[in-house]
Structure 1
């Protein structure tokens, strides 16, 4: 793929000119420690001055290869031309009226686009919000009103957000839940298909039967408003369920009048090589939550779903002051246009082919890599003690740190803290992706 420059003349190269973090970053970090709450963490305290394509450039002039995309947000790159143009024009026109007070066309256009892009050819409507957690909360609200039921079912290793309800829905305690309770009630957890960690081989339908048995015995189908599942688990470890799992759970939901909600906040918008990860299993969710990559870096989220469900909520029951802000809507329209123009679904599939081939070769050399998995440009390796499935979080952290020091920005994840996840911008040029994998290989072989 040709180089995509973010901003005028931003070279697509890895360049290390100081230690990481450099002196200017360290200076800003010292100021931060005096005024920013300690509970707000950062993976790598290098302070960014500019970014675009496949790199982020810090205040010391270091150019790092970006395998994080701001956690799957900058799929079209930072400062994608169509996003910049749309935002610039919208800011010059007006920044805010509140759609609930005086509406504007951009909100409607985004809803039209999302209704067309989400799975299924049924009649759909959408509502716009600010963040993924807001979208999940509103999907639950819609499902409860539509069904007249209260119970919400989620799965092991799930991550759905940091609000009170979405913390209850999130599986991992530290750092997301510790000390923040009590949490919202009527949230129940069922087992998930996690092929690498199954004690014995199990098919997707068999794993779904296990999930359904827990729901029926511990909750009762008639009490369930919705089942909320990430088609590819995000923070939980980039787990791809066994084939047929999502289909079987979705079919059970339909049979029992339960709303099936696909949380596509991290996996949607071309990230896995289709517009939404549900498409890999030909699953048509009742409701889809969208955020992260939808608006090229600006805060925007959505719930998109069956018209009769979306319309179940009374007038004024959905919304928020900033939901569907006009500037964010302009960014979303620019981001979606970029995804269509550059065929970023095809690009995500090409990234998958490159990464999985290289990572499997590396796994053959490094027995600490227990699993290589993912879809599209949402790829991960799980680090374990060789010959076992015992998580090795310390080695995982050491690999990430080593890559950071060599100018490659990457993230860890997983319930056990032992998964390295790779989320390159979909516009990253091939030479940068290859170089990042070279660095990873060097670091891994040096540590194991």
Structure 2
């Protein structure tokens, strides 16, 4: 057996099979490229589900992490540390908000947002105790906790985890009339992805997010935008909501906030909303730790320059033009997305999304399938046009083969 086969066999034997990775074993990575244990290079066209927006081994982020590693990595929130206030101040300013509640993973941030909305509903809006309702969209993906899968419509994500958490109503994504009908006097929040990532990079109809903003403002309901995948430059804007000039009440952030170095997530909102918390009512041992704050501060500084948003806009236009040329040729049924983010629906006659992903891997390109027939393309935002074109050439070759 090869080193790769040995590694995969060991992983299969000793780890739970909650993932079905492509048979590649990555050893090193730099920029938009990863190298396996046998020295073969692969173009990363997934970027850790957008956690690696700024590329593998981004020098600014690695240097920030190294400098902090030499000083202090963890204090817990039992004490203040010298990076915390600056992180909260800078991230709040980036979002145009007052306060930040830092956590670690995206799922933790969504759980925090759910708890925040309910507490706000009881303490500020005056919803009767135990009656708070949050409206969500079908085909959503907000994480894997028991509460979050309780309002999932994906059988794989939801099955066998009951009893499920009540307090959620699911409506069709993009259907403003259905959303309006679902919002009642006990509704405390509407929780949405501005673009649904796991569902296949689904972009809502034009005007939908603006309509959600109007409706929630009129009904005194929080609009909570899960920008964990769509935010921080991926779509060509700092936040995907900006494409409709929408500012939600609550930003839910993660993935790229940690720069692919450490897990960092946060809920960002006004003082009226996050001010409902009192000491002891919510927390996290690692949330807002010094190492996380140091890296995330550098992420915020990178985003303030606008460089990566501009790259995502320009290269995204090129990406979608080239992918659009594939539609109608028999191999690709549809392409969706925004910025450097695309979902490509493969015609059943050309194989499953998994099979296309495997064939691309054989040609040195790494992508990820979803929902059977769709592949997702989301390279690091620092990818060169030449590398992007090379990756697209490999996709064309696979589809023509």
Same fold (TM over 0.5): yes
SS in 1 for 2:375: strand
Question: What whole-Å deviation, never above 9, does each CA across 1:314-354 have from its counterpart, x for those lacking one?
Answer: 22223210111211211112233334447000000122111
The counterpart of 1:101, out of the listed 61, 74, 78, is 78
The counterpart of 1:420, out of the listed 369, 375, 378, is 375
Are 2:188 and 2:222, in contact at CA under 8 Å, matched by a contact in 1? yes
Q: Is 2:223 the partner of 1:260? A: yes
Give the Cα–Cα distance (whole angstroms) in 2 for the partners of residues 422 and 315 of structure 1.
Answer: 42
SS in 1 for 2:337: strand
Match of 1:16 in 2: none
SS in 2 for 1:170: coil
Q: Is 2:176 the partner of 1:208? A: yes
Q: Which moved more, 1:270-279 or 1:324-333?
A: 324-333
Question: What whole-Å deviation, never above 9, does each CA across 1:82-132 have from its counterpart, x for those lacking one?
Answer: 11111111111011111x2112132222222221222xx4x5211100100
Question: What whole-Å deviation, never above 9, does each CA across 1:144-163 have from its counterpart, x for those lacking one?
Answer: 11111421111011001001
Alignment: residue pair count: 392
Are 1:397 and 1:412, in contact at CA under 8 Å, matched by a contact in 2? yes
Q: Which moved more, 1:263-272 or 1:248-257?
A: 248-257
Q: Is 2:121 the partner of 1:164? A: no
- What's the offset of the Cα at 1:384? 4.1
Match of 1:76 in 2: 54
- What's the offset of the Cα at 1:42? 4.0
Question: What whole-Å deviation, never above 9, does each CA across 1:370-414 have from its counterpart, x for those lacking one?
Answer: 22111111112123458xxxxx9x53222112111111000122x
Structure 2 residue runs without a partner (length 5+): none
SS in 2 for 1:77: coil
Give the Cα–Cα distance (whole angstroms) in 2 for the partners of residues 445 and 439 of structure 1.
Answer: 10
The counterpart of 2:308, out of the listed 323, 330, 344, is 344
Match of 1:153 in 2: 135
- What's the offset of the Cα at 1:358? 0.8
Question: What whole-Å deviation, never above 9, does each CA across 1:30-77 have from its counterpart, x for those lacking one?
Answer: 2222321222x1431322111111111111101100001111111111
Match of 1:358 in 2: 322
Match of 2:42 in 1: 64
Are 2:233 and 2:308, in contact at CA under 8 Å, matched by a contact in 1? yes
- What's the offset of the Cα at 1:241? 0.4
The counterpart of 1:189, out of the listed 162, 170, 174, is 170
Are 1:53 and 1:429, in contact at CA under 8 Å, matched by a contact in 2? no
| CA RMSD after TM alignment | 1.7
Give the Cα–Cα distance (whole angstroms) in 1 for the partners of residues 161 and 121 of structure 2.
Answer: 29
- What's the offset of the Cα at 1:178? 2.0
Give the Cα–Cα distance (whole angstroms) in 1 for the partners of residues 22 and 304 of structure 2.
Answer: 32
Match of 2:7 in 1: 28
Structure 1 residue runs without a partner (length 5+): 1-21, 194-206, 387-391
> TM-score, normalization: structure 1?
0.84
Are 1:82 and 1:337, in contact at CA under 8 Å, matched by a contact in 2? no
Match of 2:358 in 1: 401
Match of 1:276 in 2: 239
Are 1:137 and 1:166, in contact at CA under 8 Å, matched by a contact in 2? yes
Query: Aligned runs of 1:269-418 on 2, under 5 Å?
Result: 269-297=232-260, 298-341=262-305, 343-365=307-329, 367-384=330-347, 394-413=351-370, 416-418=371-373
Match of 1:87 in 2: 65
Are 1:87 and 1:331, in contact at CA under 8 Å, matched by a contact in 2? yes
Match of 2:212 in 1: 249
Q: Is 2:214 the partner of 1:232? A: no
- What's the offset of the Cα at 1:26? 1.2
